[in-house]
Amino acid sequence: MIKQAEFGQLNMKEVHKAIDDVLADKTLKVDMNLANDIITRYLIKKQEAASIENTEKGQKFLEENKSKEGVITLESGLQYKILVEGNGVTPSPEDTVEVHYKGTLIDGTEFDSSHTRGESATLVLNQFIPGWVEGVQKVSEGGKIELYIPAELAYGSQKMGTIEPGSTLIFEVELIKVKKANQK
């Protein structure tokens, strides 16, 4: 949402007149295509700036996190920590997995949780973001893993719901069940 403060001081009398003109189907003082273009460019620039800032914060977080006990960093940049060793089947990308999970931003803000919804999630593993696909393969049934996913393995520079562009994500994932792709 665009806030008035982001555009500086607005002349509210002119804003109200413009709204009245639109409602009355009058000729406008500004070309709407030009106005839309200006707003679109502004929003793109704002999203790019947020992506850069969030990416830098994420890189700093991951740099500090990699030296914590139990954290493993993969070549892709994904970090993970096994919280509970599983004792069952390990999934491959084509397998269907049943999981409970909680997703947070690096500041601890929760953006998604199967626990909150009160039911586990079941999907083919390769339908998740790349960081999940790679990370969940590191744990077996009955196990629990914490994934530290850099933006490029999550949503990149795109905003996704409440997740800002360039965000590093943290997921705690409990792998409940694996159904191998070749099982009926």
Catalytic residues: 101, 111-112, 129, 155, 171
Residue 142: count of CB within 10 angstroms of its CB? 16
**4-25 burial code (b ≥16 CB/10 A, e <16):** eeeeeeeeeeeeeebeeeeeee
Spatial contact of 66 and 79, defined as CB atoms under 8 Å apart: yes
User: Shortest CA distance to 170 belongs to which of 84, 57, 47, 93?
Assistant: 57
Structural tokens at position 59: 């890189």
Residue with tokens 């999630």: 121
Determine the 3-state secondary structure of 32 from DSSP.
helix
Residue 95: count of CB within 10 angstroms of its CB? 20
Task: Give one DSSP letter per residue of 130-161, joined into a string.
Answer: HHHHHHHTTS-TT-EEEEEE-GGGTTTTS-BT
